[in-house]
Amino acid sequence: MSFTIQYHEVVVKEDIPKLAPTIQNQIKRAIEEKLVEFPERFGKPLRRSLKGYRKLRVRDYRVIYRIEKNVVKIFVIQHRSVVYKQGGKRLAV
């Protein structure tokens, strides 16, 4: 089964433009290769306050997403040092 990828508006406006072009390409390739076909296999489930979300690790960056029917909704793409602090605020809203 093929999944549709849907990005949160803040990911498009803030997260992706802040990344270096090489990292952007690596993350894009990982999303297209892994999350489109098997998002539950490649993403690790998160716990506690982020229960229901999953993370995909791409080098030192994390892609936080949730699977809803046949749609993968991406909420955060940030460096691992800040993703759970700043990204958690975005998910709580």
φ, ψ (nearest 5 deg) of residue 28: -60, -45
CATH number at 4-92: 3.30.2310.20
Q: What is the pLDDT of residues 15-42, one digit of tens each?
A: 999 999 999 999 999 999 999 999 999 9
Q: What is the pLDDT of residues 48-70, one digit of tens each?
A: 888 999 999 999 999 999 999 99
Place of tokens 């909704």: 73
Domain positions in the chain are 4-92
Q: If pLDDT is split at 50, 70 and 90, which confidence band does 1 have?
A: confident
